[in-house]
Amino acid sequence: DIISNRNLLLDAQKRNYAVPAFNIHNLETTKVVVEAAEELNSPIIIAATPGTIKFAGARYLINIMKSAAADSTIPIAFHLDHHENIEDIKESIKLGCKSVMIDASALEYEENIAKVREVVEFARLYDVSVEAELGKLVGQEDDIEVSAADSELTDPNLAADFVKRTGIDSLAVAIGTAHGLYKKDPKIDYERLKAIENNVDVPLVLHGASGVPGKDVKKSIEMGITKVNIATELKIAFSDAVKNYFKKYPEANDPRKYLKPGKESMKKLVKKKIKLCGSVNKG
Ligand code: 13P
Ligand code: ZN
Ligand code: NA
């Protein structure tokens, strides 16, 4: 069955790799991620934003995940990414989802804690793992858009208090990455990551990994990142390949044909990211 990401991330923390979290949107992209992970024997987190849940339907999507997990040889966590609405989270948990992110990072510190705490208390009843964010990543993910002026790196001193008072299982940190691509390579604040890692016991999560050079992803993992979130690059790989297909075959109309190159291209990239995370054969 689909599992929480608690044990996945604790193992990653212990053995110094990261579990990749891939954002999916439908059956096709889910299958791509699962097949790639199976071929490399990697644990995976399959992530869905509120926009994706709305697009695909919570029950449909969770049933796809359950069926993927039932047939699979690797551990699969299905994770609600960047959820802000507590009622939506509760609904998906009741449908069997075991891993959630409550993103209250736009709120003031005390309000962020209170909202996360409420989700943690509910999640405990269902053995669901909870991720929350302290600080604010610049860029756009779904309907959440943060300008450079409003962005904020994670305060290492507050991080310990935040984790303790919320009771979260993992902490999403803002250390210089952004949602979406970059105009120039991001500058990751490794000193900050080190300080957070020193202050906090729970596994740390890196958002915005699309566009981050491989060496920086690797270094972040060495320094304590245990979950790496990847969305935008996958969408680009898929859609570019489909666009090329239509350029070549403008009359094409069979989705089983025109989606194929998208799947293949995305699958290559998923495998590359799994290798980058060091999660090969950790399944
Ligand atoms: P990217 O789109 O930059 O890969 O960010 C993904 C992410 O953080 C999903 O939560
Ligand atoms: Zn994110
Ligand atoms: Na990014």
In a domain, 43, yes or no: yes
**Rounded to the nearest whole angstrom, what is the distance from the C-alpha of residue 117 to the centroid of ligand 2?**
20
Asked if residue 49 has its Cβ within 6 Å of ligand 1, the reply is no
Q: Is 103 annotated as a binding residue?
A: yes
Q: Which atom of ligand 1 is nearest to the CA of 180?
A: 3
Say yes or no: ipTM exceeds 0.90: yes
Q: In what order do the strands lie in the sheet with 178-179?
A: 144-146, 138-141, 178-179
Residue nearest to atom 1 of ligand 1 (CA): 208
Q: Mean of the per-residue pLDDT values for the chain?
A: 97
Counting ligands in written order, the one closest to the CA of 21 is 1
Does residue 150 lie in a domain region? yes
Flag whether 209 is marked binding: yes
Rounded Cα distance, 207 and 77, in Å: 17
The predicted-structure confidence for 158-178, as pLDDT tens digits, reads as follows 999 999 999 999 999 999 999
Geometric angle at alpha carbon 21, from 246 and 12, rounded to 5°: 145
Q: What is the pLDDT of residues 111-128, one digit of tens each?
A: 999 999 999 999 999 999
What is the tally of structural domains in the chain?
Answer: 1
Does the pTM exceed 0.95?
yes
Give tens-digit pLDDT for 200-231: 999 999 999 999 999 999 999 999 999 999 99
Residue 212 maps to which CATH number?
3.20.20.70
Residue 104 lies in a domain: yes
- Residue 148's domain comprises 6-277
pLDDT at 143: 87
Q: Is the Cα dihedral 161, 166, 167, 168 positive or negative? A: negative
Domain annotation covers residue 131:
yes
Per-residue confidence band for 251, with pLDDT thresholds at 50, 70 and 90: very high
Does residue 282 form part of some domain? no
Over residues 65-115, the pLDDT tens digits come to 999 999 999 999 999 999 999 999 999 999 999 999 999 999 999 999 999
- Is residue 1 in some structural domain? no
Confidence band (pLDDT; 50, 70, 90) for 137? Answer: very high
Within a domain: 283: no
Closest ligand 1 atom number to CA of residue 177: 3
